[in-house]
Amino acid sequence: MSAVAPALHSIRLTEFSHGGGCGCKIAPAVLSEILAGSPIRGLPPELLVGTETSDDAAVYRLNDSQALVATTDFFTPIVDDPFDFGRIAATNALSDIYAMGGRPILALAIVGMPLDKLPLAAIRRILEGGEAVCAAAGIPIAGGHSIDTLEPIYGLVGLGLVHPERVKRNDTARAGDVLVLGKPLGVGILSAVLKKGQLSASGYAQMIAATTALNTPGEALAALPGVHALTDVTGFGLAGHLLEVARGSRLAAEVAFDALPLIAEARDWAERGVATGASERNWKSYGADVVLPAGMAEWKKKLLTDPQTSGGLLVACAPEAEGQVLEEFARRGFREARRFGRLAAGPARVTVV
């Protein structure tokens, strides 16, 4: 007798994964150690962005007016609903293209599913979620690859185009730049609460709203002369991704914590001591290059290190461009975008005040 497949409504995807979303990324210090021995040989001059800066995507010049942006991103479930999981994973993958200043043109699906545990209807809903996001971005999923795995895995290979002169890297910030964040922090904390079965309907709605908002302002921001550097905040937390900008640009970053946009319910849970395991791994990976003020509340540290899945764009721009940047975010629905810090000459570190 064959086993009866579980009903779709009874499936809890997060039960199949040891860590969800970008929280299952390898910690920054460990990743650096792994990649340290990888030689870089024979790079063609057309490769404008490769692995040298820990940037969001590779960029390859095709001609004087077009460069190809190529990225891949996939992870295990951060939510239980299959359709929402597909939407979040696809939004997160396409974010890398927007973070380079590009416009997506097509995607390929990456699918790994435990076929003996998940009903086919659930797998179909995951794929439909990804397709819905790509349709919203105006691109097709033109192919992909699938395997049978122990944990559900879904994501995309994303391809996009950008003008070579509008490519935005994470290592080209300038002293005097201000820092703007496009989405509120706290997705990792909400995912931890969800896995405990304690997240409210309102908290879940806030989480889905944040993680399924395509970072479409990236293309327009790249066209602004005052925008000098761009990246997105994902698994390494705000402190980790800002540290990449500081190190790459050889600048000191200052963060005004009270100016940061936060998901309200995530802040509440952080104050109650909730955090992900990846948060502490992130903190240990920063070393002495993230400096916190004496006596700072622990919950604030949890939000600075919280791994974001499909997080917001992090912009370094000239002070006179701040208004244009915030206007561009607001025009596309990102009304919680905030200026939260600045960059200055000094040691490459992040200091929180």
Residues labelled catalytic: 22
Residue 301 tokens read as: 């540290």
Q: Three-class SS of residue 318?
A: coil
Of 215, 230, 234, 222, nearest to 332 by C-alpha is: 215
Residue 233 tokens read as: 């905040």
Angle value at C-alpha 282, between 279 and 287, nearest 5 degrees: 135
Give the residues across from 290 on adjacent strands: 350
Q: Cα 341 from chain centroid?
A: 19
Give the residues across from 49 on adjacent strands: 59
Q: How far apart are CA 195 and CA 80, in angstroms?
A: 9
Residue 13 tokens read as: 């995807």
DSSP 171: S
Q: How far apart are CA 90 and CA 232, in angstroms?
A: 15
Q: How far apart are CA 335 and CA 4, in angstroms?
A: 47
Residue 93 tokens read as: 């993958």
DSSP 262: B
Of 115, 118, 122, 109, nearest to 155 by C-alpha is: 109
